[in-house]
Structure 1
Amino acid sequence: MNRLVRPALATAAAAALTAAALAGTGPADAASGRTTLAGSVPSWADAAHKAGTVPGSTAVDFRVYLGLRGGDAAQQLALSVSTPGSANYGKFLTPAQFRAQFAPSTADVNAVKKWLAGQGFKVTGVPANQKYVEATGTAAQAASAFSTSFAEYSVAGKQVRSNTSALSVPSGLPAVEAVVGLDESQTLAVSDKVTPGPAVYHNAQPCSAYWGEKTPQNTPTPDGTVLPPNAPPFAPCGYAGAQLQNVYGMSGAIASGNDGTGVTVAVIDAYASPTIASDVETYSARHGLPSIKGHFSQVVPPGVYNKPESKKQDPQGWAGEESLDIEAVHTMAPGADIVYYGAPNNFQDLDAVLNKVVDDHAADIVTNSYGWSSEALPTGFIKPYLDIQAQAAAEGMSLLYSSGDDGDETGGVAGATPTPDWPATSPLVTAVGGTALGIGADGHRVFELGWESGTSTLTNGTFPTPTYLYGSGGGTSRLFAQPSYQAGVVPSTISQTYGGSPMRAVPDVSALGDPNTGLLVGETQTMPDGSQAYDEYRIGGTSLSSPLYAGMLALAVQRAGHSFGLANPTLYAARSTSVDITKAARATYPGTVRVNFNNGFDAADGYSYIERTFDQDEPLTIHVRDGYDNVTGVGSPNGQAWLQAVAGK
């Protein structure tokens, strides 16, 4: 999962956002004739982190978001049309109908455009649903227009810009909800802990074609290293094709034509892989999947690699993410249409791309393998996202998000503040957690455990006590009250973990995520000699879980003959047909041994032998348990029974 990382200090600020995060604008000051935008100063923009000034000539690119008409009416409608038994169930709106009922008025948009132009900004765009006005200008113009100043701050080893005080706008612009882009909250860093970059990576041998095929007891190590006699089996090389269709019980449906035909799944990431179409063709041919020709398209903004902000990021680092997402969806829904939308950067414009996908009603299902490592984002960033998510559900679109790859974000450190990731915590999306999965020689499920991994590197012939490494994100929101679909399902020990009223818990559902039992992914990579060639390697993360689940949901949409909007009411109602992920198999299947090339490519620099344990959630505040849990939600799909229950037939 590509994650836009908040610094550790921001995590502690999450509790302070409980009341303010969705509040929008603050009170108007009659004396100044201005309205303060609540929560528009990032938590890290304080004197302790101030590092310098921002030249007035610095270019800024920002969006002024306008609130939906009707307050929370759009969110209420989104839940109503998505809940079986509701009088409005299935009565989805078209984008035009949603705009007519809820979109900001043309008069309000024109007022904002006029004001921005009067401040010297260049207005560069307004989407069809009029959700925001985008503009460019200088830091000096922004300081004057929004009654603030700007400074550089040193945060997590990065120099980032922020306004020094709360933004404000003239009180005559009452529809303004937030301003996004003046501070650089979203540009701090990107973690590719699971997703490797474009340089070639090879799985080292031995690795297994299926669970338990090769073990330290029946297969020698390539360099003669002796492993402990009780060492667990060698890790799979990576599952693919029929293995995953079989283990989740979807192979029969796919063979009979229930393969996602007629359903469109959108994938949103940043940037784009220039070789993705040919890579997926090669991958499909190798793993028994049908051609994707005629079923795949890619939408990428012009100049995607040339924007100034791209220089702060790693465009090619997302090529593996795109390959993973598309190949995972195609594996589980080989007949579905897949459309990829690449944002021109991996921070500010992801929400704008989501807005376009939703307002164009470009898909029935959207899978998103990115997120922020807490809920401690500026107010102005969260509320616009909620509005877009409400429009998606109201139109019948299902949004899926990876739940995160770092457990409760504490790293197992005592006293650290736990937090789930945003946008997975939104009550208007389906948060998908990860599992560790053993697939047998005949495609059956040997085990499925919660994905929380410990790691231990062989030292002097033994594996020391493993320490926590990574795992499925989850926990209890500090921002959102418990949605109706979780009432009576999520135990109070989770929903009320902080005391007070029940709150939203994540994830909702789960699928394979553990990189040590992950997907075999194929993409064009850069070889050590600088040449480009197609290659395959094992990969995972909840970046895998979300698109796998999206593919299976596409089969249910096809079978039902209609989309679901917010899928959670239906998925929770069908939870008895999901595999309840428990700790029962942990004693029998404690982990795996992975063999790594030290240089990631060949044996020239030797090998490392690493034990990865399964379901090592003991250092964390989130744990696998019977029934709903905050690592795997209500569980993973269980074949025909799940399809029938979700589809209703």
Structure 2
Amino acid sequence: MKRHLVLSASIAATLACMSGYLHAGEISDAVLANFNTAEAPRITRVIDNRVATAIPGSRATVLQQAQLIGQLADSESRNHMQLILKRSPQREAALNQLLQGQQDRKNTSLFHQWITAEQYGNEFGVNDADISAVTSWLTSQGFTVNGVYPNKMQIDFSGNVGQIRNAFRTQEARYAINGETVVANSGPASVPVALTDVVAGVAGLTDIHPKPEHVPMQVAKWNAATQSYKTVPTSGASNGMASAEAIPASGGSRFLSPNDMGTMYNIAPLLNAGITGKGVYVAVVEDHDMVPQDWLDFVHEFGLTSYGPTFGQIHPAAPSASFTNCIDPDLSSGTTEDDGETLLDAEWVTAMAPGAHVWVATCDDSGTSNAFGGVFTAADNLINSKAPPPIISASYGFDEAEVDSASKTAIDAMWQQAAAEGISVFVSAGDSGVNAGYNGSSYIMTAISPNAVATSPYVTAVGGTDTADVLDGTTSTYFNSTPNRWGGSAKGYVPEIPWNESCGNDVAAIDLDNGATGLKFCQDEYTAQGRFGNLTAEGSSGGPSAIDAKPSWQSLVYGASSDGMRDIPDVALFGGSYGGVTWAAVCQSGQYSCANGYIGGSAGTSLSSPMFAALQALVDQASGTAQHPVQPQGVAAATLYALAAQEYGSPTSENTASVTSCNADHGSNNDGCVFHNVTRGGIATNCTYGAGTCYAYDGTFGLESLNATTYQEAYPAQPGWSFASGLGSVNATNLVNAWKAFYQ
């Protein structure tokens, strides 16, 4: 079969391809002139280091449990820190007016009129005179000011530990926490009082980086005699619950192909109509490279070549030629890397939107020395470029207790800028129940705390689901016994439950423990195995932010929490399975490549996020016109909640008939539902008493609860929106059609 594939040759070539459409609907300077953003400098006093004040929250909460290893030497360098700025209340109000108007279909002058990074900085950034005063102060402290971002909200600077101590009154040190060694500030950072109206804080005093939200890869090899895949023993044990469908595998695992996912989420009618994501750029931001041949093998293996997908791997440059803060991870390590997170993201964007352009945007962690590492730098540089992509997926995270106030401010500000530019951002909700900081752990050890990268009100947080057929014993109802030529055997939509691999999985408890609750299932497991038995906190994450307020659009839908805080996830797609049964198929390089007859299996909300980003590419293309074939949509969640309110009803008025008919337990793609409402199961996982919200039934070990004294599951699925699965998963064709109709 002829391959109609293109691997981008250079960043310049890729940027040239994008420049023709990206700012379709770009706002005019004349419209921006209507905003009242003119202001006088706010730094009016002499900057005196002797008169300083501590920045609240400038030391991450998690460091309270850290063990000091030792102080860093004064000469040790800290490169590419970010001084995070804050705009005036006047400009903040004007920016909020713009953001609201951009999503208001009745606002004819602002609706879907997007802004450039330069316009953003000039109208809504910090006054040039104030920036000059701040940069002069940094220079006076011995720092090297590398550059000011176009958004005029952050200054890239470098220095050493001694300069940090003198300027910000805090000592850099190494700490041991949760089995890792990290660099962090020993106390709160301070700045001169004269700067407090303009400076929010310093990002880069800690190197706690967000981590990928995926589980270790499963590997299997094709057996021609049995016409099935056989799992490779070294890839990990399975509980043997899987049946033979969905790319059959002996050894207890099965692998979902792009054909399976496309059938489950009803993408085929869109592809048949030419809605493939053609012309849409989707960037996956990473801190490690991948081998491009992986993506080529994947596209060929699963019959996606005819849609003409393209791929490019880039290292987004800083927005100023005066400095470099994004280093190629391969160049930094000296080896050609093949990262499981990166290849998962890139391959599954193509799986769900096979006509889209996939950008793998990577920056090395060690080359930035800031709190966010390569993922933040890659995203930040893209958003501040002259031609940003209309869609970004970030499959990384850490919980809110792991970030200091300046770092969280920087994350939220970055996504806020993306929203103003029309970029739809999707972020994995996390892989460890109610605390996103414990991916891969046996149990959660701190209180409820969601993914700090995902709790911004300017992103769409994507949780993970599990197919319910294995636990329900209904696999033959939803899958054919023999896959087609592209590895697909799903018959249609498959009922879903929240992805939860712990004993807190209520659906698994019913199936495996004679109808028990998740709590009793955990108690029985503990009795049989003890505290050091087969425990895991792996599963989709969700919970309320302790920092960000609830955006108005999240209050529109039945089931929405009244807590006043930003709650995640917003939506969900397949993320993993109880017992490690079901995986998403991937291709990797080396011995276990698809070219050698192997297949990889990956899982996690790192899968869910790029898949939903790909669905957004279908929306963007379908919303296009002859003049502008691609129409960026900005914050996708704002529209998703409006559509969900039509389906589920408002918080005070349930649409009972629709809530019932759109229940995920109804396995059908032929209904009128945009969302599949996940109502069984939950995301409560194993925890220890120290978590604070842990219902401990042995004195120390227990299950996540909203009350440590009486068990209140954190969190169950429910009709409408829930912390377990958000609005649920989607019927892609119905989503695209409803989206278009909503804006007509």
1:419 is paired with a residue whose SS is: coil
Match among 335, 338, 341 for residue 321 of structure 1: 341
Distance 1:371 1:513 in 2: 15
CA apart distance, 1:68: 3.5
> Contact (CA 8 Å) 1:75, 1:390: kept in 2 or not?
no
Match of residue 474 from structure 1:
542
Look up the match of 1:185: 208
Does the alignment pair 1:71 with 2:92?
A: yes
Is the contact between residue 433 and residue 507 of structure 1 (CA under 8 Å) also seen in structure 2?
yes
Q: State the AA in 2 paired with 1:259.
A: T
Name the structure 2 match of 1:387: 413
Contact 1:83 1:569 in 2 (8 A): no
Is this contact kept in 1: 2:212–2:397, CA < 8 A?
A: no
Paired amino acid for 1:440? F
Deviations 1:457-477 (A, max 9, x none): xxxxx9995855411110122
1:408 to 434, 447, 459: 434
Among candidates 579, 582, 587, match of residue 517 of structure 1: 582
Q: CA deviation at 1:375?
A: 4.6
The one of the two structures with greater contact order (alpha-carbon pairs below 8 A, sep at least 6) is: 1
- Tell me by how many angstroms 1:54 deviates: 1.8
* 1:262 shift after superposition: 2.1
- Name the structure with the higher helix share: 2
Instruction: Please report how far the alpha carbon of residue 489 of structure 1 lies from its aligned counterpart in structure 2 after TM superposition.
Output: 2.0
1:71-108 residue CA offsets vs partner (Å, 9 max, x unmatched): 35434532431244456322222333222211233333
Match of 2:365 among 321, 332, 345: 345
Describe the SS at the equivalent of 2:495: strand
- Structure 2 CA distance for aligned equivalents of residues 435 and 141 of structure 1: 48
Sequence identity, in percent?
26
- Count of residues in Structure 1 that have an aligned counterpart in Structure 2: 557
* Aligned-partner Cα distance in 1 for 2:193–2:59: 19
SS at match of 1:470: coil
Out of 268, 282, 291, the residue aligned to residue 297 of structure 2 is 282
Amino acid at match of 2:267: M
SS at match of 1:297: strand
Contact 2:288–2:329 (Cα < 8 Å) also in 1 = yes
Give secondary structure in 2 for the equivalent of 1:238: strand
Tell me the equivalent position of 1:632: 725
Match of 1:647 in 2: 740
Residues 1:558 and 2:621 aligned together: yes
How far off its partner does 1:345 sit?
1.2
Letter of the structure 2 residue corresponding to residue 369 of structure 1: S
Distance 2:137 2:159 in 1: 13
> Structure 1's 283 and 43: CA in aligned 2 closer, same or farther, altered over 3 A?
same
- Give the alignment partner of residue 714 of structure 2, picking from 595, 610, 621: 621
Farther off after superposition, 510-519 or 246-255 = 510-519
Q: Is the 8 A contact 1:435 1:448 kept in 2?
A: yes
Equivalent position amino acid for 1:186 in 2: H
Q: Residues of 2 paired with 1:322 and 1:47: CA distance? A: 32
Correspondence 1:365 to 2:387: no
Which residue number in structure 2 is paired with residue 596 of structure 1? none
Q: 1:406 to 1:60 in 2, by over 3 A?
A: same
> 1:41 aligned to 59, 64, 76, which one?
59
Seen in structure 2, the aligned counterparts of structure 1 residues 348 and 109 have a Cα distance that, compared at 3 Å, is farther
1:582 to 672, 675, 678: 678
Which amino acid is the alignment partner of residue 419 of structure 2?
A: A
1:412 positional shift: 9.2
Correspondence for 1:486 among 547, 551, 554: 554
Determine the C-alpha separation between the residues in 2 that align with 1:637 and 1:452: 20
| Residue of structure 2 equivalent to 1:453 | 501
Q: Does the 8 Å CA contact 2:74/2:160 hold for their aligned counterparts?
A: yes
1:22-49 CA distances to partner (integer Å, 9 max, x unpaired)?
xxx9x99989333433221233445973
Residue 327 of structure 1 aligns to which amino acid in structure 2? E
Matched, 1:354 2:382: no
Shift of 1:258: 0.8
The structural deviation recorded for 1:260 is 0.9
> Which one has the bigger strand percentage?
1
Matched, 1:127 2:144: no
Contact 1:264 1:364 in 2 (8 A): yes
Residues 1:32 and 2:44 are matched in the alignment: no
Correspondence 1:304 to 2:322? no
Amino acid aligned to 1:335:
G
Q: Which residue of the other structure, out of 230, 237, 243, is the alignment partner of 1:233?
A: 243
- Aligned equivalent of 2:459: 429
Match among 251, 256, 269 for residue 268 of structure 2: 251
Indicate whether 1:57 and 2:75 are aligned: yes
- Aligned mate of 2:116, from 79, 94, 101: 94
Distance verdict in 2 for CA 1:434–1:359, change over 3 Å: same
Aligned-pair CA distance for 1:113: 2.7
> 1:232, 1:639 → 2: CA distance?
27
Whether the 8 Å CA contact 2:389–2:423 is kept in 1: the answer is: yes
Distance 1:122 1:639 in 2: 49
Superposed CA deviations along residues 296-343 of structure 1, whole A, max 9, x for unmatched, are 2211266434898x79xx994x71111111111111111112212102
User: Compared with structure 1, are the counterparts of its residues 315 and 424 closer, same or farther at alpha carbon in structure 2 (3 Å cutoff)?
Assistant: farther
- Please report how far the alpha carbon of residue 257 of structure 1 lies from its aligned counterpart in structure 2 after TM superposition: 0.6
Change (3 A) 1:619 1:288: farther
Instruction: Tell me the CA shift for residue 252 of structure 1.
Output: 1.3
C-alpha displacement at 1:542, in angstroms? 0.6
1:272 aligns with 2:302: no
The range that moved more, 163-172 or 564-573, is 163-172
Are residues 350 and 191 of structure 1, via their aligned partners in 2, closer, same or farther at CA, if it must alter by over 3 Å? closer
Instruction: Calculate the TM-score normalised by the size of structure 2.
Output: 0.67
The answer (yes or no) to whether the contact 1:178–1:384 under 8 Å persists in 2 is: no
CA drift of 1:286 comes to 1.2
Q: How does 1:196-235 map to 2 (within 5 A)?
A: 196=217, 202-203=219-220, 233=243
Partners of 1:326 and 1:306 lie apart in 2 by 17
The alignment status of 1:377 with 2:403, answered yes or no, reads yes
**CA-atom RMSD in angstroms:** 4.0
Against the structure 1 CA distance between its residues 470 and 391, is the aligned structure 2 distance closer, same or farther, given a 3 Å change threshold? same
Separation (CA, whole Å) in 2 of partners of 1:50 and 1:533: 48
Q: Aligned partners of 1:638 and 1:404: how far apart in 2?
A: 23
Give the letter aligned to residue 58 of structure 1: E
Q: Are the aligned partners of 2:356 and 2:617 in contact in 1 as well (CA < 8 Å)?
A: yes
C-alpha displacement of 1:292: 8.2
Cα distance in 2 between the residues matched to 1:68 and 1:123: 20
Query: Within 5 Å, which residues of 2 pair with 1:516-535?
Result: 516-525=581-590, 535=598
Q: 3-state SS of the aligned residue for 2:400?
A: coil
Instruction: Show structure 1 runs of 5+ residues with no match.
Output: 1-24, 457-461, 497-501, 587-615
The answer to whether the Cα contact below 8 Å between 1:473 and 1:631 also exists between their aligned partners in 2 is yes
**1:544 equivalent in alignment to 2:593:** no
Alpha carbons of structure 1 residues 31 and 359: separation in structure 2 relative to 1, 3 Å? closer
Contact 1:270 1:345 in 2 (8 A): yes
Aligned mates of 1:422, 1:184 — CA distance in 2: 15
